Structure 1
Amino acid sequence: MNFESPQNTRRLDGLENLFNVTLNYRRDADIVLREQIMLKTEDTKDKIFPQVLDEKDKLVCWIVSNWNENHERVKYYNELKKHIDIHAVGRHFGKELNNAQYNEILTRCKFYLSFENTDRHYDYMTEKLFNPLTLGSVPVALGAPRYIYERFVPRDAFIHVKDFSSPQKLAEHLLSLDKNVEEYKKYFQWRKHFEVKLVNYPQEHACHACHYIRTKKNYQFFRNLNKWYWSPINDGT
């Protein structure tokens, strides 16, 4: 079981012919467990998301602790902040948050920088994307290519940095949406039919693994786990 990206996972010798089952965020794992967008159930389909714009007193927010000047997300942030005001908090900025404060910020921000600390890996996206979707902030995604995000999230539910030729152009777009309420609201249309399904770490993983082992009857093993997990992503669709 591993939920870190290949970029942040140390390769280990001796993994060949060792494991029988994979539990991962990737769609081609044996047990796939990840945050996802699902059709609303009978109990929730009539519930309308309370889009209270009056409570949104911040335009762009970012919460970050793991800071590395070589990360693409740090380089992009340093350019973006030249063109738009960003409310940045987290351990790196000397403003650690508890869960209540974290939720409050995501609720009060129009846009949240869902910047992953890694990119170009199959199906990799984390709570950095799904928490703002849950709490009512529009994610601005940096990580895998847009087409991979669209496998899991409606294309009109988020903004991708690669939709713009530069951080300045992205900033101009966000500022335009800030002034156009009707255009901003379009990023919440998906909520009429869908909702976010979060994962209960780690209990849910254990339950899925136990169920899989109890019900699966055939035998398998992985000859080269390293090749599977660290294989490069394709640029095409």
Structure 2
Amino acid sequence: MSRYLALLRFCRRSGLSCICKYFLVFTFLLCAFIYFLLKIKLSIDYHYAQVLYQTQRSKICQKKINSTQEKPKLILFWTKIFTNSIDANYINSHLFASPGRCDINRCKVTNNRQELCASDAVVFHARGGIKMNDMPQERSLHQRYVLLTKEPPYKTTAIVGHLNYFFNWTATYRTDSDIAYRYFRWRRKDKIVTGASPQSYLNNRQVRAAAMISNCYSQNNREHYIKRLSSVIPVTRIGHCSWNKCHKLYYECLNELADAHPFFLAFENSLCRDYVTEKYANVIKNRRMIPIVFSKDFDLYIPNSFIDANQFSSPENLGRFLIELVKNSTLYDSYFKWANEYELVVPDENDYLCELCKKLNDPNEPNKVYDSMKKWLYDDATCQRWISKLNRTINVSVDETMDYEDSLF
């Protein structure tokens, strides 16, 4: 509203008051129309979600399927991965060949919806275009429906939260998912390095933090936190949300930033349970900056490899700590000792299919169904937002987190 008033004052000063008033009214009515249109579409989708739940049990595949133990398990991708179809030929020849990347080769991937009734698993990507008017019309009793996503809850199509008694398994970044679909993991080395000569990492760099951000309006208000931090120490912003652009490859940009920046702000766009992306992993692989994270899941990070902004009472206190830290090279270098004991593991983008294949071929795998996707996907995620006036985080309501996204708007 303040933006509209400011524009109206400008119009009065410039003598275009009448034209601007009509423009503002038109803009307001257009936004209201789109808002109510989306509300109506949501109501229709929610209605069909309930109808789907009530009728899906009666829509049993009538085709006779020759199911044998030797037959490879068929995995059907019902939706795209974002806007791209899965490359079935590559997956089948790279993952499930003999030998292939997976330890097991008794699976096959397809995009062909004509093979729905023959499929052992049907995969739905949360941002791949799940639409109530484009759902499977039949379902086999042995099938597992799988929800696939690496996105935080507020970047997941809201209709997913209303598909109760629909999904059997989840493949997400969450540690309680049935199938791991994470950006990275870490493990202890088989041989721990002892007695290594100390290495200097600070190299006379002055206190300065870097940030590479493409999502300009985060759910957790990270931009507000960074703005206050930048009043204490210099912060270099690179990406869509700044005038500074790096037109090189990501790792080249990261390495150039490391020349003058001892710290990197690896703040995610959401502060939700288990949500940690490649932002942290890329800095760890670079091994020239200390990542500063904003999280509540310490066990997701390599021990003693990061600084947690949540442990400071304010951005200013974090900034003052960083100023003192660069004065002590021994203390700064201690944040890199993890490399003697731990290592980062970044899985291939399709490795989750190996685990899915193992589960499909396990005769002892118990039956399971998610009776409330809203609870698991949204409530249990416990997303939070940092509030500048309070100097702390508060919980984000589930209704706000459930953000409907339609490709038409």
TM-score normalized by the length of structure 2? 0.51
Which sections of structure 2, spanning at least 5 residues, go unmatched?
A: 1-147, 384-392, 394-409
Alignment of 1:173 with 2:321, yes or no, is yes
Letter in 1 for 2:292: V
* Alignment CA distance shift 1:76-1:204 (3 Å): same
Q: Which has the higher contact order (CA 8 A, sep 6+)?
A: 1
Letter in 1 for 2:171: L
Aligned to 1:37: 186
Letter in 2 for 1:190: W
In the alignment, which of 100, 114, 119 is matched to residue 266 of structure 2?
A: 114
In the alignment, which of 278, 282, 286 is matched to residue 127 of structure 1?
A: 278
Which sections of structure 1, spanning at least 5 residues, go unmatched?
A: none
* Alignment CA distance shift 1:17-1:51 (3 Å): farther
Alignment of 1:141 with 2:293, yes or no, is yes
* Alignment CA distance shift 1:32-1:69 (3 Å): closer
Aligned to 1:212: 359
In the alignment, which of 236, 239, 247 is matched to residue 90 of structure 1?
A: 239
Offset at residue 111 of structure 1 (A): 0.9
Offset at residue 209 of structure 1 (A): 1.9
* Alignment CA distance shift 1:164-1:214 (3 Å): same
Letter in 2 for 1:192: N
* Alignment CA distance shift 1:153-1:226 (3 Å): same
8 A contact 1:37–1:153 mirrored in 2: yes
Residue 134 of structure 1 aligns to a residue in which SS? helix
8 A contact 1:84–1:171 mirrored in 2: yes
Alignment of 1:15 with 2:166, yes or no, is no
* Alignment CA distance shift 1:55-1:19 (3 Å): farther
Offset at residue 157 of structure 1 (A): 1.6
8 A contact 1:106–1:135 mirrored in 2: no
- Map Cα deviations across residues 80-110 of structure 1 (whole Å, 9 max, x no partner): 1111111211122240442342341464331
8 A contact 2:209–2:265 mirrored in 1: yes
* Separation in 1, partners of 2:206, 2:304: 23
Residue 196 of structure 1 aligns to a residue in which SS? strand
Letter in 2 for 1:127: E
8 A contact 2:202–2:333 mirrored in 1: no
Offset at residue 153 of structure 1 (A): 2.0
Alignment RMSD (CA, Å): 2.7
* Separation in 2, partners of 1:93, 1:184: 29
* Separation in 1, partners of 2:208, 2:154: 31
* Separation in 1, partners of 2:253, 2:275: 22
Alignment of 1:161 with 2:313, yes or no, is no
* Aligned-residue identity in percent: 25
Letter in 1 for 2:159: L
Offset at residue 36 of structure 1 (A): 1.4
8 A contact 1:116–1:126 mirrored in 2: yes
Residue 61 of structure 1 aligns to a residue in which SS? strand
TM-score normalized by the length of structure 1? 0.84
Residue 176 of structure 1 aligns to a residue in which SS? helix
What is the number of residues matched between the two proteins?
Answer: 227
Offset at residue 182 of structure 1 (A): 0.3
Kindly report structure 1 stretches of 4+ aligned residues shifted beyond 6 Å: 47-50
8 A contact 1:56–1:107 mirrored in 2: no
Rg larger in structure: 2
Offset at residue 53 of structure 1 (A): 3.7
Letter in 1 for 2:285: T
Offset at residue 162 of structure 1 (A): 1.8
8 A contact 2:312–2:318 mirrored in 1: yes
Letter in 2 for 1:101: E
* Separation in 2, partners of 1:153, 1:73: 19
Offset at residue 133 of structure 1 (A): 1.8
Aligned to 1:192: 340
Alignment of 1:77 with 2:229, yes or no, is no
Residue 230 of structure 1 aligns to a residue in which SS? helix
Offset at residue 208 of structure 1 (A): 2.4
* Alignment CA distance shift 1:113-1:38 (3 Å): same
Residue 62 of structure 1 aligns to a residue in which SS? strand
- Map Cα deviations across residues 5-24 of structure 1 (whole Å, 9 max, x no partner): 11322321651111111111
Larger CA deviation: 18-27 vs 5-14: 5-14
